[in-house]
Amino acid sequence: MVGIESYAAYVPSPRLDRADIARVLAAGRGKGVRPVASYDEDSTTMAVEATRRALRGAHPVESVWFATSRPAYLEKSNAATVAAAAGLPVEVAAYDVSGAVRGGAGALRAGLAAGAAVVVASDLRLGLPGSADESAGADAAAAFVVGAEPVAELVGTASLTSEFLDRWREPGEVRTRTWEERFGVEEYVPLVERAVDTVLGRCELKREQIQHVVLSTPHARARATVRRGFDEAQLAGAEAYGLGFAGAADLGVGLAGALDAAVPGDHILVVSAVDGADAFVFVVTDRHAGGARSGLAADLAGGQPVGYGDYLNWRGLLPREPARRPDVKPPVPPASRRTAAWKFGFVAAQCTACGYRNLPPRRVCLRCSATDGFESVSMVDVTGRIATFTDDWLSESVQLPARVVAVDFDGGGRFECEMTDAVGVELAIGDRVRPTFRLASVAGNGVRNYVWKVRPHEEED
């Protein structure tokens, strides 16, 4: 009786206009926009956002499985960062499924096998300017809490593994290389057909008994061919949001879309074709409340334009002359370790004597001077208001000017930080904000300084 208990997706706010790419490169005809990770996001921060959303009100989990083809660190676990920033206890096992795009399917399979788990996939799709990955991809994340009281119960799986080179990328490289398109079609299409037939056979289902089909593959032409084997109605849920291929997160984003469209009793077939094929069948249970629960609809309704020049700068493809200022100082590991609850979990200290929230935690209350009398309080879901603000053109931030705000949190507590997802947005004292886990900087020694910032918060009705 294992399956998906809760799910969520996350689409970053910046939107890159493909026409802007075409204009700058004087090539192609770009149409529409694609979501791109902001200057202070990476696969880890996007995973944190999706995981936090999925974990809201969820049962306790025992493990985290984090898939991405663009890991922020190698050797050092990124899943550990996700676990810490998602507020998961130290007893939770956190594993990285990094590198291959197929990790998205692998993490889901591992999480379903493990039982009480969080499966999260997050990816950035980029390439050299003018590449298909750049224009057709989507940066996104999706997370699933797996457990014994599912809204979508796993009915069966089938997997095939095939060794061939269709796409490959060296660690740290921007560019993904590909072989000729027709080669991939001939490899992938039979793999998908066989995996689908196998899983349906195991589940004793026919194609027409499937209400929702999720097709995920980086190979656009293979996808188009395979797609013809299903009805438009079956594909409508997963394709409703119209995102491009989202790498290791693509399967998850598609599944989240299908779940948004599904009602109890529906069967969902999830097929991923990358270096083989993986197929999953879920049946939606009566626990599924329905509706656009993934957050995809809300995320895609928002968005802010980013110019192609800024976008290339964000990805390190068009570095700009920095201000004549000292190099960014990295956080030091022992200090980050000591304050991990604050730095990664955004846990403040609420004074038991006067009730004021101290951000960051300290031994002597900044309001009443009571000593060592504090309760830990998570600020992650606490909204606040701008107390004052400025634009800093001399900031270390990648995107200038840095929007800097002093935030007064609802229920008490003040912190100064960068306001993100606010490029070109007019700010005012009193504006509503909410916390988000982002990068402050990446230092010369490669240390990524993760911090909590705030972003604009639209009131929910």
**Residues in the site for another protein, rule: CB under 8 A?**
323-326, 329-332, 335-336, 338-339, 342-343, 358-360, 366-367, 387-396, 401-402, 404, 406, 408-409, 412-418, 429, 440-441, 449-452
Exposure string for 389-427, b = 16+ CB within 10 A, e = fewer = beeeeebbbbbbebbbbbbbbeebbebebbbbbbbeeeb
Q: Are 97 and 55 in contact (CB under 8 A)?
A: no
CA 48 to CA 430: how far, in whole Å?
A: 27
Q: In what order do the strands lie in the sheet with 33-35?
A: 33-35, 14-17, 304-306
Amino acid identity, position 79? A
CB atoms within 10 A of CB 214: 27
Least separation in angstroms between residue 435's CB and another protein is 13
**Angle between the 43-55 and 78-85 helix axes, to the nearest 10 degrees?**
40
Do 368 and 356 meet the contact criterion of CB atoms below 8 Å apart?
yes
Cβ of 233: how many Cβ atoms within 10 Å?
10
Within 10 Å of residue 26's Cβ, how many Cβ atoms?
Answer: 6
